[in-house]
């Protein structure tokens, strides 16, 4: 069973339906016992980093998520579920994250819009192409230039470039996926990314 962590800040039904579409037994849950017993765990997210961390703590799910990550079971973060894996977010001040990875979650164009990119808006909304790392298991079979769906104003800036599983260009290259061991996460929404997103989710479902 794949546990989809419900902390009140995600498009849970879309993720559940997408996972079921690719053959998974997926269940939305806020029960720590179910998360502990699951074969795989998904942490989705929509909204602000600080509000997401507040909800995760408030519902008593922080330890369950950290234990799942350290258990060696396959773990997938989606959108803000990726961002929360980092040491801290910078939205509305500094907010500590889960600290699984070193680095901050930063806003697009904090230092100004690059020359020639004045037409780019924040948030970054819509389809954009990605460049996967050849070693990524989650993105196996995804070719450079294939397009996925984004909705975000912030993105991770990892301290360790070795965890970057894919990049995207939006006024400059940014990290849009990370992977280390059995932990993977994506800034885009695979559940909204058509056939490409379904291939990514199927890779996760088949991950042993």
Catalytic site positions:
79, 189, 191
Q: Is residue 97 within 8 Å of residue 51, measured between CB atoms?
A: no
Alpha-helix residue ranges (DSSP H) falling in 73-121 = 80-83
Q: Is residue 162 within 8 Å of residue 192, measured between CB atoms?
A: no
How many other C-beta atoms lie within 10 A of the C-beta of residue 121?
12
CA distances from 206 to 140, 153, 177 (A): 11, 31, 18
Burial tier of 36 (Cβ tally within 10 Å: 0-12, 13-18, 19+):
middle
* Cα end-to-end span (Å), the chain: 13
CA distance 19 to 42: 10
Q: Which of 116, 140, 145 shows the shortest CA–CA distance to 129?
A: 145
Q: Is residue 55 within 8 Å of residue 8, measured between CB atoms?
A: yes
The residues, any chain, with a CB within 8 Å of residue 18's CB and separated by 6 or more, are 190, 191, 197, 198, 201
């Amino acid at each position: 069973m794949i546990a989809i962590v419900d902390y009140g800040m995600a498009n849970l039904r879309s993720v559940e339906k997408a996972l079921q579409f690719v053959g998974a037994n997926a269940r939305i849950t806020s029960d720590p016992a179910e998360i502990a017993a699951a074969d795989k765990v998904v942490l989705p997210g929509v909204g602000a980093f600080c509000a997401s961390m507040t909800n995760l703590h408030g519902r008593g799910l922080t330890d369950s998520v950290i234990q799942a990550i350290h258990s060696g079971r396959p773990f997938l973060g989606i959108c803000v579920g990726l961002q929360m894996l980092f040491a801290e977010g910078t939205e509305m001040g500094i907010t500590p994250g889960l600290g699984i990875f070193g680095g901050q979650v930063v806003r697009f164009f904090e230092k100004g819009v690059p020359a020639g990119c004045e037409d780019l808006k924040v948030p970054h909304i819509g389809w954009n192409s990605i460049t996967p790392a050849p070693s990524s298991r989650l993105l196996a079979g995804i070719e450079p230039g294939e397009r996925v769906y984004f909705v975000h104003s912030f993105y991770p800036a990892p301290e360790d470039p070795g965890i970057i599983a894919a990049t995207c260009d939006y006024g400059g290259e940014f990290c849009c996926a990370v992977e280390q061991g059995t932990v993977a996460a994506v800034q885009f929404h695979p559940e909204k990314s058509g056939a490409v997103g379904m291939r990514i989710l199927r890779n996760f479902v088949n991950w042993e």
